[in-house]
């Protein structure tokens, strides 16, 4: 549970953003989908177990947790610090009436495009208040992490690396993709990640990985398969981190080797620019330009801000003209693809924006892992 000082800091920052947009109140949406539950946890302390919930956060006054009636017995309602809680049949109808009673004119919504339930939107659009998309503003208000938050991020990073080394130890040809992943997931759950994880995979044969993500399944792994496990979890505090390194026992293909040559240069160029005052777009261009010199392009954005929600603003992308600030946290995950868009290489690291350069939170070198390494040997 965050301290009272931390809660007040969060609320102050969000209300400052609300005032700038002329909002009377804000609906913070969250649901069970991996990565979409965190904004509710951030604003109320409630951990979503199933279904969805809203935090109704007025510019003045105390917030309310608004649950659908069918979720009354799902989740520990004594855990959140927000004590005002209601369970209407249709939450959107209840919020619409609250807006009318309060004579609210502008109602911000975090999660309007991807999270809010359609039945609630239908009710709200009939109400007196204008619905104002508020994702970017909300994320920017929480982008700079406090010392309490940074402690939670580092704890999550320790958990994900614990799982990674369990995965490396389990990696052997003759096992399935799922069997190799299983020890990592066991560590994650045991150390507090709970259901807040999304562990997916890029893989392929003959030293190359196909350029699409999938769920690790029952495919038997061969020695020349390239495995790129994308590990994405939170710790008990609910802060997301991401990490990945390539695994293979035989030699990578010539194309994969060429991609790999660019990675250390691209990652170091990004780290050097992850500093106070630099634009997020500049970091993206440094990564993209490095791979372009080697004849490759990026499959998607270089990365994104990350926190209690898996993907937050700002992105590390070509059009993200947002100045970075010290103690923002970013996932940097360049996926490099060949000219046909069929073969890829991938990595993930979590960084803290520093005063003069970025801090990579993982103490793991970028290399191809064979399954013979240990955490101790990797640092020597």
CB-based burial label for 114 (10 Å; 0-12, 13-18, 19+): exposed
Q: What is the pLDDT of residues 230-277, one digit of tens each?
A: 999 999 999 999 999 999 999 999 999 999 999 999 999 999 999 999
From 186, 193, 185, select the one nearest 155 (Cα to Cα).
193
4-141 and 147-378 share one fold:
no
Write down the pTM of the prediction.
0.94
Rounded CA-CA distance 35/366 in Å is 26
Tell me the chain's radius of gyration from C-alpha atoms: 22
- Binning pLDDT at 50, 70 and 90, where does residue 1 land? confident
pLDDT of residue 168: 97
Domain ranges of the chain: 4-141, 147-378
Tokens 């990564």 correspond to 287
Residue 375 has pLDDT above 90, yes or no: no
pLDDT of residue 360: 97
**Protein fold of 147-378:** Creatine Amidinohydrolase (3.90.230)
pLDDT of residue 297: 87
CATH superfamily of 4-141: Creatinase/prolidase N-terminal domain (3.40.350.10)
Question: What's the mean pLDDT in 362-366?
Answer: 94
In the chain, the percentage of residues whose pLDDT exceeds 90 is 92
pLDDT of residue 379: 65
Q: Is there a contact between 162 and 132 (Cβ–Cβ < 8 Å)?
A: no
β pairing state of 25-31 and 106-110: parallel
pLDDT of residue 299: 79
Residue 177 has pLDDT above 70, yes or no: yes
Tokens 């990365």 correspond to 303
Question: What's the mean pLDDT in 72-85?
Answer: 93
Rounded CA-CA distance 294/316 in Å is 21
Question: What's the mean pLDDT in 175-187?
Answer: 98
Q: Per DSSP, which regions of the chain are E strands?
A: 25-31, 52-58, 64-66, 85-86, 106-110, 130-133, 200-204, 209-210, 226-234, 240-243, 246-247, 297-298, 303-305, 312-316, 329-332, 335-337, 343-346, 349-352, 359-360
Question: What's the mean pLDDT in 363-373?
Answer: 94
Q: Could you tell me the sign of the dihedral formed by the alpha carbons of 8, 13, 19, 24, in that order? A: negative
As a three-state string, the secondary structure of 96-128 is HHHHHHCCCCEEEEECCCCCCCHHHHHHHCCCC
pLDDT of residue 276: 98
Kindly report the average pLDDT of the chain as a whole number: 95
Q: Tell me: cis bond preceding 111? Omega within 30 of 0 counts.
A: no
Residue 380 has pLDDT above 70, yes or no: no
Q: Which two tokens stand for residue 309?
A: 């929600």
Q: What is the pLDDT of residues 295-352, one digit of tens each?
A: 998 877 899 999 999 999 999 999 999 999 999 999 999 999 988 889 999 999 999 9
Q: What is the pLDDT of residues 40-60, one digit of tens each?
A: 999 999 999 999 999 999 999
């Amino acid at each position: 549970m965050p301290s009272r000082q931390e809660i007040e800091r969060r609320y102050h920052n969000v209300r400052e953003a609300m005032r700038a947009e002329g909002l009377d109140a804000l609906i913070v949406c969250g649901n069970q989908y991996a990565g979409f539950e965190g904004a509710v946890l951030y604003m109320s302390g409630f951990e979503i177990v199933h279904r969805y919930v809203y935090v109704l956060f007025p510019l003045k006054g105390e917030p309310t947790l608004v649950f659908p009636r069918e979720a009354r017995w799902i989740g520990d309602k004594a855990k959140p610090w927000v004590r005002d809680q209601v369970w209407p049949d249709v939450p959107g109808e209840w919020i619409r009436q609250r807006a009318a009673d309060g004579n609210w004119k502008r109602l911000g919504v975090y999660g309007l495009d991807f999270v809010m339930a359609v039945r609630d939107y239908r009710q709200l659009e009939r109400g007196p208040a204008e619905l104002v998309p508020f994702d970017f503003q909300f994320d920017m208000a929480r982008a700079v992490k406090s010392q309490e938050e940074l402690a939670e991020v580092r704890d999550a990073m320790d958990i994900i690396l614990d799982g990674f080394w369990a995965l490396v130890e389990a990696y052997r040809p003759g096992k399935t993709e799922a069997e190799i992943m299983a020890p990592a997931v066991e560590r994650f759950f045991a150390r507090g990640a709970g259901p807040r994880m999304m562990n997916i995979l890029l893989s392929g044969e003959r030293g190359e990985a196909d350029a699409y993500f999938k769920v690790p399944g029952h495919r038997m792994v061969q020695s020349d398969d390239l495995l790129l496990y994308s590990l994405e979890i939170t710790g008990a505090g609910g802060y997301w981190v991401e990490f990945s390194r390539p695994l293979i026992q035989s030699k990578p293909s010539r194309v994969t080797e060429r991609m790999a040559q660019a990675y250390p240069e691209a990652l170091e160029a990004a780290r050097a620019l992850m500093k106070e005052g630099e634009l997020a777009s500049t970091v993206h261009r440094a990564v993209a330009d490095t791979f372009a010199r080697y004849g490759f392009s990026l499959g998607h954005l270089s990365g994104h801000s990350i926190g209690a929600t898996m993907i937050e603003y700002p992105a590390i992308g070509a059009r993200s003209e947002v100045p970075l600030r010290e103690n923002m946290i970013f996932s940097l995950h360049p996926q490099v693809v060949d000219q046909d868009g069929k073969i890829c290489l991938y990595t993930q690291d979590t960084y803290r924006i520093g005063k003069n350069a970025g801090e990579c939170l993982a103490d793991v070198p970028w290399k191809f892992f064979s399954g013979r390494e240990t955490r101790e040997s990797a640092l020597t």
